[in-house]
Chains A and B, each alone.
Chain A
Amino acid sequence: MSLEKYEAVIGLEVHAQLLTKSKMFCGCSTSFGAAPNENVCPVCMGMPGVLPVLNRSAVELAVRAGIAAHCEIAPHSIFDRKSYFYPDLPKGYQISQYETPVCKGGYVEISVGKDNPQMRRIRLVRIHLEEDAGKNIHEASGSLVDFNRSGVPLLEIVSEPDIRSAEEAGAYLRSLHAILRYADISDARMEEGSMRCDVNVSVRPRGSEKYGVKTEIKNLNSFRFVEKAIDFEVSRQIDVLESGGKISQETHLWDPVREQTRPMRSKEFANDYRYFPEPDLPPLRVPPDLVEKVKTEMPELPADRRARYIRDFGLTPYEADVLIAEREIADYFEATLPALKNRKTAANWVMTEVLRVVRESGETIDRSAPAASETGALLKMVEAEEISLNAAKTAFAAMCKSGKSAKDTVAELGLAQVSDEAAIASACDKVIASEPAKVAEYRGGRDKLFGFFVGQVMKSMGGKANPKVINEILKAKLAG
């Protein structure tokens, strides 16, 4: 296969909606789900004579993103007008940043490989601020425009072409997604459009330093589509080159139904944006004390949390990666911990039992799993040997459905473990008395039979006996 002969070169442009209460240049709400054209005013409708006033918290969130991604924060940057006509763009230009972005350089760390994950840095070109456009809605009766989103603040995060595979692109997006969510910069929900991604893809013969001709892929609204589109586009480009063709620089749209990319008509993207400095806004100044303030307010970032899990909880890098991938999961994990001595048990439980429930339900963790404190209480019972691990699984499944507490569930289902030595001793005596032949064999040296006796005792006690106590008592009695 020719895949080995070629190397993919991929760069991503990610747009993330900032978690500000109001829009970038006016006081309108940014809330999702309002009735069409409810969150609008003369400014975000582009009425004659209106002027933009920059939202300070948008700037702070951009700086926060810059710090989280190790960027250089520009003390001085400017806004530009990017001109194009489209019905959802009320002013006929978008206020963006062109030559001087608020953040330059930096990198995002990704963890690649499952068995032995390696950290790799994907460098960033820049992060800049810009405003969103409205939304065109096409109906049988005609086209409509909803300007609720018009003027919502966005970050555009542009990576260097450091990505070499669809898998790495996925890892980069997940890492960026985690940073944006951990730092409360963005909801970063691709399905809701609060995170969007355009992909630049080219291929070149392995070992070559020169970049090939790239294509841009748009309309990617899930991590999975990004990965599929890259795989498709890389093979398409290799096929073209292998059959002696040339790649033309063009923009493609991802068709999620056919699972393939198709070129856009040239009319759809041939634009000269005629950037020039926005005269209605003074230069954006980010003084050192603002950078310091943002640094001190920075929530714990995923990379720091990963390191902490490995260092303080003794988790493996793989376990840490799984837990930190989603902030809700990591927060859930930590909320189970306070009463527990063994963090590893909780980590395993969250990775297997909790994530399974979340996955199977297709819901968010807070809707599908029991409250973290209850899961913690359940694990505490295991740790205190009040219930067995198997009993805990039974209880957990019931708790997911009923929403009842760990204590009530264990009581209702009668899952409490028996540690009463007298009761266990009496059960042991009965088993020993009923199996004289096996006892003789064991005492004759067949150590392996020990498990059989444990099983018999457990069975006679309905599975609720504390295995440790059974072990101790049986050992003493059989030694006789």
Chain B
Amino acid sequence: MATELNKLTIADARALLDRREISSRELTRACLDRIAAVEPKLNAFITVCEREALEQADAADKRLAAKESQAMLGIPMAIKDIYATAGVRTTCASKILANFVPPFDATVIAKLREQGAVFLGKANMDEFAMGSSTENSAFGPTRNPHDLERVAGGSSGGSAAAIAADECLASLGTDTGGSIREPASFCGVVGIKPTYSRVSRYGVVAYASSLDQVGPFAKTVRDAATVLGAVAGVDPRDSTCSARPVPDYARAMTGDVKGVRIGVPKEYFVEGMQPEVETAVRGALKRYESMGARTVEISLAHTPYAIAAYYLIATAEASANLARYDGIRYGLRVEADNHIDLYNRSRAAGFGAEVKRRIMLGTFALSAGYYDAYYLKAQKVRTLIRRDFERAFESCDAIVVPVAPTTAFRLGEKTDDPLQMYLSDIFTISVNLAGLPGMSIPCGFDNAGLPIGMQIIAPAFAEESIFRIGDAYERSGASTPRATKI
């Protein structure tokens, strides 16, 4: 059994750890061995922290020996390399931060550290979370464990692939326009983007501040709920973080969806979608009906404008958020005779093409004379999209749609066509604009054997509904994870 410990769910590992049948060190060792075995092919990690992880595992074992039990105590995790980790370099997959070692922990890292979680390392991602395939990483792309010629999705591709390949039991990603849900779908794992403000953003390198949200990847809905429960909640360091108490998500997962009204928006089943994706999601909806839920047709009329609005708001915020990488205080510096040239050279050398593209888009959108036509208009669209959802939730409890129009695409397939790449997020972006929670769970496979994800969307702070509906689907036996080929 020892060799398979890395395949455990958090729930199973928790029971074994609490009964002292396994140690956190054994569990961590199993994950590290798996990492050593598959990383050369997968590249899910930018930094592996073997020594630190084993020390943390030993510390966890001491606490376990003292009969302490905490949700994440001794559980080995991968952390997207966007979280500030004290003493461990935090690169954001960018050359500009390649050697940056933060002197502080992000709030969620501090919370997990206090609970005794084990940090295996920093997961690969699209540079500054800008991308949908993890191909925009200065440290090379992450490959999909189901097919090494395909992308893992992005931007949290490393965090998703690490779960799918059993390199860890849980991981953290971030989601600004779909960056948790799309890679979860592509890799066949569970990933949730909670309500905006549910989890602190302090210490999470900012891409688009009004859209960024922290969230977990896991092997099951129950595990995802466990990790979210461990990191969510008020933070005095983040003024946008909600003070609402965090519910006990486990209690929501009753397995019962009788009478639940599931909204199905016609705008999300569009032409050009991969047929197997629609079939799989419609199949899941049928299954819910057979379990006693009702499906309701709804309309989210402003969906077609979501991508345009997103690429104005997100890039505008990014253009300011990334201004701090100037080569003055930390990060890459290319010397020059004067400070203007120092900025130009450092930023030219430090940022990748997609990051530069988005900084330029955002700078343009905020420029004098264009603000009203672009940024302000986009904010108005955002309000309309939010209202669409509010109206829809008058007639349903949750919405079920595909996560992405296709399954994982081939490496390099969309890198030369940014617009095609942007369309990967067509079903996820509205949820960020509206600040709502959304979860991706596996709901089948396409003809090539690649995972398909469905997305469950709920009203703000109704994560409990999402977990209940997702967990019921898992329990029905429909969502059988398929072993990866790696």
Contacts and interface: CB of A to CB of B under 8 A. Distances in A.
B326 A92 contact: yes
A50 B324 CA distance: 11
Interface stretch (B6-14, B45-53, B199-207, B248-256): B199-207
A360 B316 CA distance: 57
B467 interface: no
A265 to B, nearest CB: 12
Interface string A428-455: 0000000000000000000000000000
A145 B203 contact: no
A275 B209 CA distance: 15
Given A48-B90, A90-B329, A92-B326, A276 B209 contact: no
A473 interface: no
B366 A49 contact: no
A51 interface: yes
B368 A93 contact: no
B367 interface: yes
B320 interface: yes
Given A53-B237, A87-B339, A282-B239, A46 B324 contact: yes
A280 B339 CA distance: 28
Contacts of A282: 239-240
Nearest to A81: B320
Contacts of B324: 46, 48, 90-92
Contact of B375 (A50, A93, A276): A276
Contacts of B328: 87, 90, 145
B97 A274 contact: no
A281 B239 contact: yes
A418 B237 CA distance: 73
A282 B236 CA distance: 13
Contacts of B329: 45-46, 90, 145
Interface stretch (B102-110, B142-150, B401-409): B102-110
Contact of B100 (A46, A48, A51, A279): A48
A279 B323 contact: no
Nearest to B340: A85
Contacts of A275: 366, 371
Contact of B84 (A49, A52, A53, A274): A49
B343 interface: yes
A53 B330 CA distance: 23
Nearest to B379: A277
B238 interface: yes
A87 B341 CA distance: 12
A93 B339 contact: no
Nearest to B83: A49
B367 A85 contact: no
Contacts of A48: 84, 90, 92, 97, 100, 102, 205-206, 324-325
A83 interface: yes
A42 to B, nearest CB: 5
A54 interface: yes
Contacts of B201: 49, 51
A93 B102 contact: no
A42 B102 contact: yes
A47 B325 CA distance: 9
A93 B239 contact: no
B320 A52 contact: no
A274 B106 contact: no
Contact of B239 (A51, A91, A274, A276): A51
B210 interface: yes
The secondary-structure label for the interface of chain B is loop
A51 B323 contact: no
A272 interface: yes
A87 B240 CA distance: 28
Contact of A47 (B84, B92, B208, B320): B84
Most buried by B among A47, A90, A92, A274: A274
A468 B201 CA distance: 82
B363 interface: yes
B104 A47 contact: yes
Contacts of B104: 42, 47
A167 B371 CA distance: 41
Judged by DSSP, the binding face of A is loop
B204 A49 contact: yes
Interface in B152-167: none
Given A272-B368, A279-B317, A83 B323 contact: yes
Given A46-B329, A49-B84, A279 B209 contact: yes
A276 B238 contact: no
A137 to B, nearest CB: 13
Given A85-B326, A85-B343, A50 B203 contact: yes
B136 interface: no
B115 interface: no
B367 A274 contact: yes
Nearest to B197: A282
Given A53-B239, A279-B210, A92 B102 contact: no
B28 interface: no
Contact of A49 (B106, B322, B339, B375): B106
A86 B324 CA distance: 10
B106 A276 contact: no
Interface string B213-255: 0000000000000000000000011111000000000000000
A93 B202 contact: no
B367 A272 contact: yes
Contacts of B322: 92
A97 to B, nearest CB: 16
Interface in A241-296: 272, 274-276, 279-282
Nearest to B343: A85
Contacts of B208: 279
Interface of A: 42, 45-54, 81, 83, 85-87, 90-93, 143, 145, 272, 274-276, 279-282
Given A49-B201, A86-B339, 19 more contacts: A42-B103, A47-B84, A47-B103, A49-B90, A49-B202, A49-B204, A51-B240, A83-B366, A90-B328, A91-B320, A92-B323, A92-B324, A143-B339, A274-B319, A274-B363, A274-B367, A274-B371, A275-B366, A275-B371
Interface of B: 82-84, 90, 92, 97, 100, 102-104, 106, 201-206, 208-210, 236-240, 316-317, 319-320, 322-326, 328-330, 339-340, 343, 363, 366-368, 371, 375
24 contacts: A48-B102, A49-B82, A49-B84, A49-B106, A49-B202, A49-B203, A50-B202, A50-B203, A81-B320, A87-B328, A90-B328, A91-B320, A92-B320, A92-B322, A92-B326, A93-B320, A274-B319, A274-B363, A276-B316, A276-B375, A279-B240, A279-B317, A280-B206, A280-B209
Nearest 9 CB-CB pairings of A with B? A92-B323, A274-B366, A279-B209, A279-B210, A48-B205, A49-B203, A46-B324, A49-B205, A49-B84
